[in-house]
């Protein structure tokens, strides 16, 4: 019996070329991939949002 794998959910973002240049330069400096840099930034922002909700549930 052939098993079918569920597709991995993916998100695609349009990034302005000027913004991408900044991200690319920073990723190159850190010697990491741009996608890893972006994931780190997004994760940090999500944690900050989560902290704000914990401290003040009515703020968002």
Q: For the segment 49-60, what is each residue's pLDDT rounded down to a tens digit?
A: 999 888 876 665
pLDDT tens figures, 15-47: 999 999 999 999 999 999 999 999 999 999 999
- Domain spans of the chain, in order of start: 18-55
Secondary structure (DSSP) of 17-54: HHHHHHHHHHHHHHTS-HHHHHHHHHHHHHHHHHHHHH
Q: What is the pTM of this model?
A: 0.70
């Amino acid at each position: 019996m052939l098993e079918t794998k569920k597709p991995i959910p993916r998100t695609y973002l349009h990034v302005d070329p000027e913004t991408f240049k900044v991200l690319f330069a920073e990723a190159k400096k850190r010697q990491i991939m741009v996608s890893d840099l972006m994931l780190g930034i997004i994760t940090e922002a999500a944690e900050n949002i989560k902290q704000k909700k914990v401290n003040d549930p009515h703020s968002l």
